[in-house]
Structure 1
Amino acid sequence: MSKHFLRPPGAVAEADFLGRCIRCGKCALACPYRAIRVAGLLDGLEIMGTPVILARKSPCYLCLKCVPVCPSGALESRVKKREQVRMGTARLNRKECLNWQGTFCRSCYDHCPLFNEAITMDGELRPVVNEKKCVGCGICEHVCPADPAAIIVTPRGAG
């Protein structure tokens, strides 16, 4: 697996997460959208058995049903509202973005659950990411019609 995966909402910092997660899979079972999958052997020994989200395939819809079922504290129960989630930050590649290249598109803007907050439109109706508001759910990456996606969520702590 590439390093391009997200952790579920409420995940503690990665090093701490790997120590706390008991690899029970309860968070994956609780997700009604099947966004959370359990990393397998081919994903690497260090993360094997831990929950991952591949935003391009299946983003997090911020239902937060995974958080209260975590028995180990790897997902912090203090996260109760979607605005509190910090899974990562969306990064927009203007060279790949259809809208920035002259083809009208509002996919990321229209589908963002924090509508007109995390992604806004500039004066020329081009998307702009507000990094302070973005929760990193990956919905924007999932719906982006560009191939490769023009907007990619960088996991928290990945820079």
Structure 2
Amino acid sequence: MSKKPLRPPGASKEVDFISSCIRCSKCAQVCPYKSIKIASLFDGITIMGTPVIKARDIPCYLCMKCPPVCPSGALNRKLRNKKDVRMGTARINKKECLAWQGTLCRSCYQSCPIFDEAIKMDNELRPVVDEKKCVGCGICENVCPVEPAAIVVVTGGR
């Protein structure tokens, strides 16, 4: 199953994003963390040249520098508050998650920038994602000690 690309904060729906992004790379250039990469032919012909975030490598740290520099409107320039970002939603594979298998692990919970809101710990100290509050930045996916990550950001379906 191929994973849809994770887009920078403020991105419109995928079909609209693809048609409105002018592939100028300004969002990638302004990203201080180098989280935003430009999709190559290997990522697929339809997304080639567009900005993508590969959270397992470098997640989005929600600095919010990319939306204001987008000249085409593919990224919502008015977006300022990190809690309003909707890049995707983190999903936990409970069969692979250490905490869900009885080993104490709080990596995703402690790393989440929407602390104790987007990811909470249940009574048995297992992480639970609040889909309404998760912004989809991918920091949880990046810090997950399991390989492949037991928590991944999925796009669409919101």
TM over 0.5: yes
Cα distance, 1:5 vs structure 2: 2.4
Q: Distance in 2 between matches of 1:158 and 1:142?
A: 22
* 4+ runs deviating over 4 angstroms: none
Superposition pairs of residues 105-116 of structure 1, within 5 angstroms: 105-116=105-116
| Distance (whole Å) between structure 1 residues aligned to residue 144 and residue 44 of structure 2 | 28
Q: C-alpha separation between the residues in 2 aligned to 1:53 and 1:141?
A: 12
**1:26-45 Cα shifts (integer Å, max 9, x gaps):** 00000000000000112111
Structure 2: which 5+ residue stretches go unaligned?
none
| TM alignment of 1:141-152, pairs within 5 A | 141-152=141-152
Aligned residue in 1 for 2:95 = 95
Structure-to-structure mapping, 1:1-159, within 5 angstroms: 2-155=2-155, 157=156
Q: 1:158: how far off?
A: 5.0
Counting aligned pairs with the same residue, the percent is: 67
Describe the SS at the equivalent of 1:153: strand
Structure-1 separation of matches of 2:16 and 2:53:
18
RMSD over aligned CA atoms reads 1.0
